[in-house]
Structure 1
């Protein structure tokens, strides 16, 4: 993470944090009134994993940015701040806003939009006058998350002149000649109104989506659903680069191509002839048949536990959940007493079952087939168990991943 500073309107110091590769397309995240850049933390992490550089800005009077002695927080000062930041970034980002920062970006980008930004995302932005909006959001966020009110200047509230806001937004909308995504959630004040419909219709290059079941705001309450729409929009409107296809029949190309297929992660466990538990991490696992109930796992011939698994009458497949990355690494490494450092219990067949796993299958050996440098171990499931409230630990392109979408 890198802390960036910008010179805003009237010389006010604005602070932002940047994460991700500088060579990737930039996304500028702008929070709403009564929030700070920390509200975007989960979104920022997901965007970096999707190949974007993220700059998350604190507005004047919020978070790490300066609280001007003048106490000036009117719409014009915020607009000039944003235009100054965009001019100093040195790249044209997609600007992603939340609630009242959408007002700022809409008016700021109505002039020279294509020269300042590559796209605009308006999340939960009301297009009509609502005097209590910023205060209501700030108070509810503070109550829900226990935020310290000192993270933002209370003088921020009430300084934007709302009397002419609807007219200014209506005037700016037709001038936003850049790809725009409008996202709305389920709050009463975010519901689609005639003003919102008119605003959307006036946008020259826009699409609109609604995300249901947000208790407070889409960004904080329906993060994964919001990310699915945002990433789809970015992939279509601001692709990282032209598609690049690699071809070949060598082992490296084959391995990289196979790595594009996302998998779950399992730990295969059994016992040797002395009853000592053994286990290894594997992601080549699949369901094979329901009648009879069969599954299979592929084990490298060179694996330390391979000789035991070839001869074992019973084994278990433990599916890992998102918090068990360390367990996966432990059973993939060498030289460590894996079971001494891992909580486990004995299943009905006597096989070791990893505590806290997403699920487990206890199996008896059904068949073994040679498969090049691996062998295919087919098991008949005699007992299955699972925890429906956990998310899986995933593996994709050589890295651990988690579910992004809901």
Structure 2
């Protein structure tokens, strides 16, 4: 076991125990208010035996973590600490949060959960927002933050609690769990709270089972002839940008679709390619169009990506665009736009490969790209 430190919100130094192989999937353990990281010792041992790397964190003002820096102990400071730690871990861990730390994790992961964590485990988390866990009475504003955050937690979640919990009823807990997009709820009979400490073996079994299903230690495998979904998931591990490919139909109607299979081919001559599904409704027009444009989207254009990926909507009526030098539609505000002449079209299984010669390109270096990774939109993260 090694002791490491993280830079928390407002200059606070946070201390953690780290145990396990650095190549194993990471688990971040967060204790409840009034506890310290030592409560996780038995759980940590079980997780390491199950092939996990464990980071057991002390919250600010607890255990080895200082209360220096800004000296704050409020809810927002704890949320800032967790987001800061996740930015420094170097991977997307499963976050396991006990008691009131579940409130912290719920709020911290609400905005961009998929880019910060692989999954979330809430242990003994109260769903009645009362008391003074952060040095003062809980405000209605904090409670509303947590309730508003729940539907935004777009990552696998396990909510495990004692059936005899004095903090809330099963009905309160079930209502909260239903608000989470992807949540499994488990109640352990004859237990009130401190589940991880009092019923460690039962808790470890639940936790390891969840991890094996949601974050398996070994890699998934595709072999020719097996489920195509597995191959698609494997390909999705390659992060890409997102483009909208546009052209003009023979009758002067603009057409376009979202595509992320895009790459540079050559600088001399300047060639690029995009891959278009044979089933795309605008595919035949793109195959025949003399000119087309590839619009690379920036972080603020997620609605544009959704619009051009959907059906039954006048995509261009809701989009700001103009005709490029050769007539192909160029979307305003894009990260970059490449106006191309058709160079070649090749068959590619259930897609066709459209190769274009770049005639004009423009870009805005001040913007950040809209990214796509493992089936979800992402953004650049600067630690």
Root-mean-square deviation (Å):
1.8
Counterparts of 2:190 and 2:137 in 1: how far apart (Å)? 29
- In 1, distance between residues paired with 2:137 and 2:155? 25
SS of alignment partner, residue 212 of structure 2: helix
Q: Measure how far apart 1:191 and its partner are.
A: 4.1
- Between the two proteins, the alignment pairs up a number of residues equal to 221
Tell me, in whole angstroms, the C-alpha distance in 2 between the residues paired with 1:27 and 1:188.
25
Q: Per-residue displacement from partner, 1:15-62 (whole Å, max 9, x unpaired)?
A: 101000000000000000000000000000000000000000000000
Question: Secondary structure at the residue paired with 2:47?
Answer: helix
2:324 is aligned to none
**1:187 touches 1:217 (CA, 8 Å); kept in 2?**
no
- Give TM-score, length-normalised by structure 1: 0.52
Checking the alignment, whether the CA contact within 8 Å between 2:163 and 2:170 is kept in structure 1 is: no
Query: 2:156: which partner in 1?
Result: 179
Larger radius of gyration: 1
Residue among 199, 219, 222 paired with 2:199: 222
Task: Name the counterpart of 2:186.
Answer: 209
Q: Does 2:145 correspond to 1:168?
A: yes
Report the equivalent of 2:123.
123
1: CA distance between counterparts of 2:92 and 2:129?
30
1:232-290 CA deviation, whole Å, 9 max, x = no partner? 1000000011369xxxxxxxxxxxxxxxxxxxxxxxxxxxxxxxxxxxxxxxxxxxxxx
Shift of 1:158: 2.9
**Superposed CA offset, 1:333-379 (max 9, x none):** xxxxxxxxxxxxxxxxxxxxxxxxxxxxxxxxxxxxxxxxxxxxxxx
In the other structure, the counterpart of 2:49 is 49
* Distance across 2 between alignment mates of 1:202 and 1:239: 26
Q: CA deviation at 1:189?
A: 2.4
Residue 67 of structure 1, CA deviation: 1.8
> 2:203 is paired with a residue of what secondary structure?
helix
Matches within 5 A, 1:13-52: 13-52=13-52
Residues 53-132 of structure 1 aligned to structure 2 (within 5 Å): 53-68=53-68, 70-131=70-131
The 1:206/1:11 distance shift into structure 2, 3 A limit, reads same
1:7 maps to which residue?
A: 7
Say if 1:186 and 1:214, in contact at 8 Å, map to a contact too.
yes
Q: List gaps (5 residues or longer) in structure 1.
A: 135-156, 245-406
CA displacement at 1:72 relative to structure 2: 1.2
Aligned to 2:212: 235
1:286-301 mapped onto 2 (5 Å cutoff): none
Deviation at 1:70, TM superposition (A): 5.0
The answer on whether the counterparts of 2:130 and 2:138 sit within 8 Å (CA) in structure 1 is: no
TM-score when normalising by structure 2: 0.55
